[in-house]
Structure 1
Amino acid sequence: MKLKHLILSIIVFSSLWITSCSNETNKEGEGNENEFPPSMTGLIYINETEYEMIVGNYKWERKQGLETQVVQTDAASPNQIAENVKAVIIEESPNIKIEIEGNPEISVYIWNENGREKEVKVDKNQLSVPTSKGQYIYEVLAKWSNGEVSYTFVIEIR
């Protein structure tokens, strides 16, 4: 009887230890590949300077056996996010390069006070900025096979 309790204790301890080890981060400090939902960094490059985009809404799905797990957020709109973001000041009209982990399919939109104003043409993850002075709010909608994320960035052309 004592042997059964000892074996059961070893099994329980071993499974708890294995589970706790699997939640640790890897050597680079990033979450492991089992992290759910994943955090996908979105960057823009303007005149070779890197800026991180702000994450808004996202939706991720994953299948585990016969079950599907879904995580979805309802974050502020790009207009609301822009109220709390410092705009990137641009003196000229350079191209903006977009780089997002996992190389998703992207769509880019300019927002005005009423919502999405228009879709912006993107070529090889680059877009041209307007030539007129003013502040511009951009939304980058990134889509992977199992999820999508909305990113926001703001530029001001002087």
Structure 2
Amino acid sequence: MSKRLFVFFLFLTLTACSKNGMVGEEPPKAMIQVGKETYETKLGSYCWSSNNQGKCVDTAGPVELLKGKNPIAIKPGKAVTFKVNYSPKPDEFDVIQFINNKDTIIPFDNGRFTAPTQKGIYYYSVIARWLDKKDKNISKGDASYVFALEVK
């Protein structure tokens, strides 16, 4: 497991969940959009608080979670938009790209990032955080969403 992923899981484990939790027993579904096409992501590790109960689930990383699934075919340099149909929207995001056992945080602006320009299969984890409005050190929920892109 990479150092960044370990720090994320440690953050999930140590961050207290607010008693004023979120709706639903687990984080909402998320999609990515490439052009006019939408694709589901797979829910990875998360901590979620609802009905005055907190729950944390730890999963394998993106490469292991997506074994046997076909990556999403994409042209080099295309815009990829991350969407969560849930209110409230997450307060913070990180996007981590995994390729050849190396992870890199990539720029994520206004829910978008740009696909690589070199051909290959790239794995991603988008980490979304819902924070308490009064105390930004309290998490109402955190989730990682994973998917793979194949630049052709």
- Within the candidate set 103, 109, 128, 1:142 is matched to 128
- Within the candidate set 16, 27, 39, 1:51 is matched to 39
RMSD: 2.1
1:111 aligns with 2:98: yes
The amino acid of 2:142's aligned partner reads E
> Is the CA contact (8 Å cut-off) linking 1:79 and 1:113 kept in structure 2?
no
The amino acid of 1:44's aligned partner reads I
1:129 aligns with 2:123: no
C-alpha change, 1:123 and 1:34, in structure 2 (3 Å) is closer
C-alpha change, 1:37 and 1:113, in structure 2 (3 Å) is farther
Q: Which has the higher helix share?
A: 1
When normalised by structure 1's length, the TM-score is: 0.69
Alignment gaps of 5+ in structure 2: 1-20, 132-139
CA drift of 1:96 comes to 0.3
Question: 2: distance between equivalents of 1:43 and 1:81?
Answer: 16
Question: 1: distance between equivalents of 2:37 and 2:67?
Answer: 22
Question: 2: distance between equivalents of 1:49 and 1:152?
Answer: 17
Residue in 1 that maps onto 2:134: none
Structure ID, larger Rg: 1
The amino acid of 1:80's aligned partner reads E
CA drift of 1:76 comes to 1.8
Residue in 2 that maps onto 1:72: 56
CA drift of 1:111 comes to 1.2
Residue in 2 that maps onto 1:88: 72
When normalised by structure 2's length, the TM-score is: 0.72
